[in-house]
Structure 1
Amino acid sequence: MGADLCTTPFMKLSNPPRSLIGLSGIALTVLMGACTSLKREQSELAVPGRWQGRASSTVPLDTTSLPKWWQRFNDPVLNQIIAEALQSSPDVRTALARVDEYKARRGVTKSNLFPTVSAGFTGRASRTDNRQTNLITNSDSYSTSLDASWELDLFGKLRQNFKASSADLAQVTEDHYGAQVTLAAAVAEAYVDLRTAESQLAVYERNLATRGETVQLTRWREQAGEGNSLETQQAVSTLEQARATIPTLKQTIEQTRNQLALLAGKTPGALNAQLMKRQKVPQPPSVLAIGIPAETLRQRPDVRAAERGIEAAVARVKSAEAERYPTLTLSGSLGLDALKSGSFFSPEVAAANAAGSLAAPIFNASRIRQTINIQSAQEKQVVIAYESTVLQALNEVENALIAINRTNERLQTLNGAVASAREAATLAAQSYEAGQVDLLDVLDAQRTLLSLEEQQTLTQGSRTTAHIQLYKALGGGWSKQG
């Protein structure tokens, strides 16, 4: 890197133009002494070749399907809400506006590579009244000028500034993609929470119906003299205990609908028409599609943004180093003076001049060196931030795979437990009706069934959420057209 800033320019100075002849020997000595190259920061973080939590039922990752991974859940409502959110979300629109901002910033930096030209026009009128001769003299004069100035980028400072601004633009563009990833996952997770709460409500409603039948049965037995009021009140108590959970679930459902509207950039209740019909918890695909860690790092916008941050930091270090070298500015002007506004094509006076100025730092109390040190320290920071981002990405994928594997195991166990508990509750109710068991056995069986069905529903939601977190961790959910 030092060669492109030092060797090439000084090779050109071996036959300097006239404008550089006046550069003092001491200045050249300072410049040659300053021609050193800094060691670039590089990350030595090793990326593993495979995932530790990779299950046996996996297939190679198809990156073309990652931009719209939610379609793998086969839920049209979810697809529609995510599509609306990606178009209307304030977070995504703000990120896109930042991209426009940094495009303009890069344009400003690029303009410094080219000459600046300005034009000027002045007009002056005077009137002289000589009281001694009673003569009045009027005179007009007009002048116009065309001025140009150009700082030649001898040592690449301006080019490095442009590279840094281009990397900044690429970084905020990746941030825009990252906002899409975060939003799609947030909408999907909220949608799963909604459907999970609805499934829980359905479980409680079924349980209320069963417990209501038990209450009616205890009353009949009490009226027939086969039971007592204690059993009836115990049955009523368990019924009302389950009923007390209903308002909490309804609150969760209504608030989650509003959360989805917020994520989609809409007012509360705007999505109720789409969400009012109950749906089951979206079922994830039976086979996972994951690739190798290196593919994930290439796909994730936050890792790509961190890479662009390193590029920007390196360019700014090079720009700071170039401050130690001379700057050459060329300037010129063309002026025309006329006594009448219509005489510019045959002016009385025409003048043109051209100049070149060379400025080189000799003493600045180590300001330039400290600026280089600042930029070098910032480069080191962004490299460390890049390593942190990579570690976070790898950790998120591994944790998502662990969650998928463990929730699958838990769900399989709960499915068997629920089937047994449902059969036990049915047998207990039949035995109680026949007078073979006490009411407490029936109520205990119903409580067990309710608890297991609730755990089953929550685990189904957790399993789907784990898949969503995996797709997010793999860097899915963004597209350049988004």
Structure 2
Amino acid sequence: MTRLALLLGAASLLAGCAGSLATDHPRSNLPHAPAATGRFQSAANGPFSPEPVPGAWWRLYRDDRLDALVTEALAANTDLRVAAANIERARALLAETADARRAQVSLSGGASLSRPEGTGADLPGQVGYDAGIGISYELDIVGRLRHLIEAAEADTEAAQAAYDLTRITVAANVVGAYVDACAAGEEKETAERSLALQEESLALTRELFQRGRGTALDITRAETLVEQLRAPIPAFEAARQNALYRLAVLLGRPPAEFPKELAECRTPPRLNSLLPVGDGAALIRRRPDIRAAERTLAAAGARVGVAVADLYPRVQLGGSAGLTGLAADLGEGQAFRMSLGPLISWTFPNQAAARARIKAAEATEKAALARFDGTVLTALSEVEVALNTYARELERHAALEAARDRAATAATQAEQLQRLGRGTSLSVLDAQRTLASAEAALAASTAQLASEQVALFLALGGGWETGVQAQGQAQAQGAGQPGA
């Protein structure tokens, strides 16, 4: 017992020096920088609200059909099933790592047959046996097990963040496919309306020609415009059908089982209120990819601690008891064996490999910090770009709407002048061509606005929350402090 106490005391003394060799964990200042945590610059002069982004942001459209599609996708999407399996794997590895802190029990047993050298194979041999039980427990003197568990916990939380990222991506893709299908239907309807008007104009041009008030050239020009307006319609139909196929796969269905009720959708969802965008601080807390990067950084920091622990002795307390001997002597006292004591393993003085592993772990941690900073900067940039693009598209949409209205007025005036004999068919065709072009551009802008709304909400990172926000949502606020 005196020797045991001396050995444990020496190991504890060596462990007391461990902290002096551990490097300081690198920290990131980005999550606390005023330029990163304040209001978004591009939100200053646009239709945006500083209110927090709602978790189920797609409900802002007040479209029950869309809500049902997102709910179905979040329950059946295959990418989410993969992400959920990755969480299960990470939790299992965490449980395996945490088990190292418990006492380990082992059972052993075996039998053997031996014959004296030189005896014949027909002579009887001696049957021996060995059976025992062993118990061991590692003393976590320098924190090796603690750091291993911290790393496994961070890996599990990173897997959860990856699941949340997949969730918001699936939700955004569902809304995007829904928007694309309905927007293509609207563009097709606009093109068909313009085509119908031009076909009426063609009929009028033919009638005027028969009355001697036009030429064959007027008819040819009108027929050309009809075909030009007919040409985009198949492309719009293809775009709508392809969006429905994408939607079916997002819902976990074969492409042929797309929602049939959307085949006639002609009105993409619209928001008539200010878009809630929050601020930079909320973005850093909310975006799952930032949280995943921070948890990866924390895991890298914990593994530096594991590498440093390899510089010091690893102490295990253990004992074993059993029976060993010949089968003929089974049950006799001399067959009993027992051992008790510490087991100390140490690579000293050959520590070059251990120090190399520390340098490698520190380099991995530096790379994780750089990735974390890059993820934060990318997130901020994506939001600013999405805000700016959406605001400018709104301005463009307003201008296109005004142009469409003026083109419609000009077309009406040209037709009236032609009926009164004061205008030419060429001026009517030009006015109608301008109107058709203006309506097509306005419809395309409407579709673009809807798509950019989805891109903005995706950049803002909304959609992964389920009721109470996940436990790890605020962890990125302490990024760069993996050892905390």
Same fold (TM over 0.5): yes
Q: Which residue of structure 1 aligns with residue 450 of structure 2?
A: 464
Q: Are the structure 2 counterparts of residues 126 and 198 from structure 1 closer, same or farther at C-alpha, using a change threshold of 3 Å?
A: same
Counterparts of 2:211 and 2:226 in 1: how far apart (Å)? 22
Q: Which residue of structure 1 aligns with residue 180 of structure 2?
A: 193
**Contact 1:403–1:463 (8 Å) recurs in 2:** no
Counterparts of 1:28 and 1:252 in 2: how far apart (Å)? 72
Q: Are the structure 2 counterparts of residues 76 and 279 from structure 1 closer, same or farther at C-alpha, using a change threshold of 3 Å?
A: farther
Counterparts of 1:396 and 1:124 in 2: how far apart (Å)? 70
Deviations 1:215-271 (A, max 9, x none): 111111222222222111111111012112211111111112112222222211212
Aligned to 2:27, which of 42, 47, 72? 42
Aligned to 1:69, which of 57, 62, 68? 57
Q: Are the structure 2 counterparts of residues 94 and 261 from structure 1 closer, same or farther at C-alpha, using a change threshold of 3 Å?
A: same
Q: Are the structure 2 counterparts of residues 248 and 279 from structure 1 closer, same or farther at C-alpha, using a change threshold of 3 Å?
A: closer
CA positional deviation for 1:355: 2.7
Letter in 2 for 1:217: L
SS in 2 for 1:325: coil
What does residue range 357-436 of structure 1 map to in structure 2 within 5 Å? 357-364=343-350, 366-436=352-422
Aligned: 1:203 with 2:190: yes
Letter in 2 for 1:173: Q
Identity of aligned residues (%): 32
Q: Which residue of structure 2 aligns with residue 228 of structure 1?
A: 215
Counterparts of 1:37 and 1:105 in 2: how far apart (Å)? 26
TM-score (norm 2): 0.86
Aligned to 1:152, which of 135, 139, 142? 139
SS in 1 for 2:264: coil
Letter in 1 for 2:276: A
Q: Are the structure 2 counterparts of residues 347 and 285 from structure 1 closer, same or farther at C-alpha, using a change threshold of 3 Å?
A: farther
Counterparts of 1:424 and 1:232 in 2: how far apart (Å)? 21
What does residue range 210-221 of structure 1 map to in structure 2 within 5 Å? 210-221=197-208
Aligned to 1:101, which of 89, 94, 99? 89
Counterparts of 1:184 and 1:81 in 2: how far apart (Å)? 9
Q: Which residue of structure 2 aligns with residue 51 of structure 1?
A: 40
**Contact 2:157–2:292 (8 Å) recurs in 1:** yes
Q: Are the structure 2 counterparts of residues 432 and 269 from structure 1 closer, same or farther at C-alpha, using a change threshold of 3 Å?
A: farther
CA positional deviation for 1:31: 9.2
Q: Which stretch of structure 1 is more off in the superposition, 269-278 or 308-317?
A: 269-278
Gaps of 5+ in 1: 1-14, 129-135
**Contact 1:177–1:480 (8 Å) recurs in 2:** no
Counterparts of 1:225 and 1:181 in 2: how far apart (Å)? 65
Q: Which residue of structure 2 aligns with residue 257 of structure 1?
A: 244
Aligned: 1:315 with 2:302: yes
SS in 2 for 1:150: strand
Q: Are the structure 2 counterparts of residues 286 and 35 from structure 1 closer, same or farther at C-alpha, using a change threshold of 3 Å?
A: closer
SS in 2 for 1:233: helix
Q: Which residue of structure 2 aligns with residue 328 of structure 1?
A: 315
**Contact 1:117–1:147 (8 Å) recurs in 2:** yes
Letter in 1 for 2:27: Q
Counterparts of 1:72 and 1:304 in 2: how far apart (Å)? 25
Aligned: 1:89 with 2:89: no
Letter in 2 for 1:438: T
Counterparts of 1:137 and 1:50 in 2: how far apart (Å)? 90
SS in 1 for 2:458: helix
What does residue range 93-132 of structure 1 map to in structure 2 within 5 Å? 93-122=81-110
Counterparts of 1:251 and 1:33 in 2: how far apart (Å)? 67
CA positional deviation for 1:347: 7.5
Aligned: 1:243 with 2:246: no
Deviations 1:37-95 (A, max 9, x none): 312211132224221112465444245x32x1001112222222222222222211111
Q: Are the structure 2 counterparts of residues 307 and 127 from structure 1 closer, same or farther at C-alpha, using a change threshold of 3 Å?
A: closer
RMSD: 3.1
CA positional deviation for 1:203: 0.9
Q: Which stretch of structure 1 is more off in the superposition, 256-265 or 163-172?
A: 256-265
Counterparts of 2:114 and 2:387 in 1: how far apart (Å)? 87
Letter in 1 for 2:26: E
**Contact 2:18–2:142 (8 Å) recurs in 1:** no
CA positional deviation for 1:432: 2.0
Aligned to 1:176, which of 155, 160, 163? 163
Q: Which stretch of structure 1 is more off in the superposition, 221-230 or 290-299?
A: 221-230
Deviations 1:246-301 (A, max 9, x none): 11111111112112222222211212413122231211242122222101110111
Deviations 1:9-44 (A, max 9, x none): xxxxxx981434788xxx989995994231221113
Letter in 1 for 2:198: R
Counterparts of 2:15 and 2:323 in 1: how far apart (Å)? 43
Gaps of 5+ in 2: 117-122, 471-484
**Contact 1:261–1:268 (8 Å) recurs in 2:** yes
Counterparts of 2:230 and 2:100 in 1: how far apart (Å)? 72
Letter in 2 for 1:61: E
Letter in 2 for 1:102: A
SS in 2 for 1:247: helix
Q: Which stretch of structure 1 is more off in the superposition, 269-278 or 242-251?
A: 269-278
**Contact 2:51–2:277 (8 Å) recurs in 1:** yes
Letter in 1 for 2:433: R
**Contact 1:77–1:274 (8 Å) recurs in 2:** no
TM-score (norm 1): 0.86
Give the number of equivalent residue pairs.
Answer: 457
Aligned to 1:437, which of 396, 418, 423? 423
